Structure 1
Amino acid sequence: MILTPQNIDHLNTISPWLAVNDVHGEQALHADVAILAGHAVLPGLLGAFSRLAATDIPLLLSGGIGHSTELLKSALHTVQVNSDASSEAQLLADAAVQLCGIRADQLIIEDQSRNCGENAAFSRRALLTRELAAQRIIVIQDPLMQRRTTETFRHEWQRQGQQADFISWPVFVPQLVLQDGQPLIAGAASQQGLWAMDRYVSMVLGEVRRLRDDKEGYGPLGLGFIGHVDVPHAVEHAWQRLMAEPELAALVR
């Protein structure tokens, strides 16, 4: 796969919109609970754990066995996490305790969800079971899935007649840069554990398709997994230009 400078510009138009960020710089984290949905982007995971370890905010880890489980196992192996867990939530719990010093009693484990919708539904139930009245909730996910995940949580709470303020925190916002003529993912504290480039492009393009409110999307006009999302004109234009290239469009899952 060859990315032209124009392709990179288009991808860089889309990625900050996907990685919607309500936590800027090193501002203090204030929330009743943080929910981290299972994924395998190592700099985001370790960045979240490190910041949250310095707080008393409960951290709910959500994830059973899904699309990212094997990727997560591989990523944690590279940083020598010792775990024989099978679920993403327990793998993440072991990483949080071993690498970042998070207290085990700060963690809530939800290890049954298999997708984004179940992350939201099962996390809500886990909070209810613990009678944790959460009005301000930080949502953490793979940065490229951050907007859709936050919208999914918001939709689930509204569907159940509950109110909460959701703070979207991708930990970092990825951008592509050219280094020695080759595209490189920038923005993270480390290059270790980032996306392969074809996966990055696939996710950027696939997430826009899912967020567009049409028959192929996840909004009310499609599958109904989230509420209506307005896609900015610049993002729509960039997505259309990228999807017009067969090699890139073929990456979309």
Structure 2
Amino acid sequence: MPKHVHVLAKKIWDYHLLNQTLEKSDCIFVLCSNDVRVAEHAAKIYLAGYAPYIVFSGGEGELTKGLFGCSEAEYFAHVAADMGVPLEKILIEPQSTNTGENVQFTRELLESKDLTPNKMILVQKPFMERRTFATFVRQWPGKEVIVTSPDISFDEYPNEGLSYSDVINVMLGDLQRIKYYPQYGYSIPQDIPKDVWKAFECLVALGFDEHLVDVAG
């Protein structure tokens, strides 16, 4: 990767991280995806005693259609169970296809089971921490939330299934959504420093535009 691309991408990666500290909570809420390391991180949090149960939320998204042979939530639950999380402590929401639905459908699932967590640990990919927080607070106000992700650096994050280019494209899409989604009522506003948005514009100009949405008008 060219040095200037790395510098710009790292600036955006760092912006997405909230660096919040884990605390004992009522529920672990996992927003599932193609990254199984998120499931492993969530299982470790449960096994460390941070919450009494764990809910996995996710159907099939753009990046996971046909990947697991089941919903993201079901696959992540299998990973957690294999790591020692008791099946009776796992809830599964297998229908959601985006972050807003993750929150909406998980809320409905918990309410159907008379579960009313006031403090939750949200588990997500590193570059989706900030958007997850902004979306959750808008879609389910009045709750105390802590957002966490696997402790993986930008340089360590790509693997055999996800290239540097993939990571940059996706996290630029998330940054664009952080900027524009509040006007549609999807999330609360987040301050974006000028140098972070300039890095976004530079990377888009270099062709990293695969996960951008149409925000015309």
TM-score normalised to structure 2 length: 0.87
Aligned match of 2:35: 41
How far apart, CA to CA, are the structure 1 residues paired with 2:160 and 2:84?
20
How far apart, CA to CA, are the structure 2 residues paired with 1:49 and 1:193?
23
| AA at the equivalent of 2:112 | T
Match of 1:164 among 119, 129, 143: 143
Note the C-alpha offset of 1:194: 6.1
Note the C-alpha offset of 1:111: 1.3
Match of 1:197 among 164, 175, 178: 164
Tell which deviates more after alignment, 47-56 or 89-98.
Answer: 47-56
How far apart, CA to CA, are the structure 2 residues paired with 1:49 and 1:71?
24
Tell which deviates more after alignment, 228-237 or 100-109.
Answer: 228-237
| AA at the equivalent of 2:188 | G
How far apart, CA to CA, are the structure 2 residues paired with 1:209 and 1:66?
18
How far apart, CA to CA, are the structure 2 residues paired with 1:71 and 1:107?
23
Structure 1 residues without counterparts, runs of 5 or longer? 74-84, 176-184
Note the C-alpha offset of 1:35: 0.4
Aligned match of 1:97: 81
Aligned match of 2:181: 218
Larger radius of gyration: 1
The share of aligned pairs that are identical, in percent, is 24
Aligned match of 1:53: 47
Alignment of 1:73-84 (within 5 A): 73=68
Q: Please state whether the residue corresponding to 2:116 is helix, strand or coil.
A: coil
Task: Note if contact 1:42-1:192 (Cα within 8 Å) is conserved in structure 2.
Answer: no
Q: CA RMSD in A?
A: 2.1
Note the C-alpha offset of 1:45: 2.4
Deviations 1:171-192 (A, max 9, x none): 22532xxxxxxxxx22x6xx75
How far apart, CA to CA, are the structure 2 residues paired with 1:32 and 1:44?
19
Alignment of 1:98-113 (within 5 A): 98=82, 100-113=83-96
Count of aligned residue pairs for this structure pair:
211
Match of 1:22 among 20, 23, 32: 20
4+ long deviations beyond 6 Å: none
**1:121 matches 2:104:** yes
Aligned match of 2:191: 230
Task: Note if contact 1:43-1:194 (Cα within 8 Å) is conserved in structure 2.
Answer: no
TM-score normalised to structure 1 length: 0.76
**1:6 matches 2:1:** no
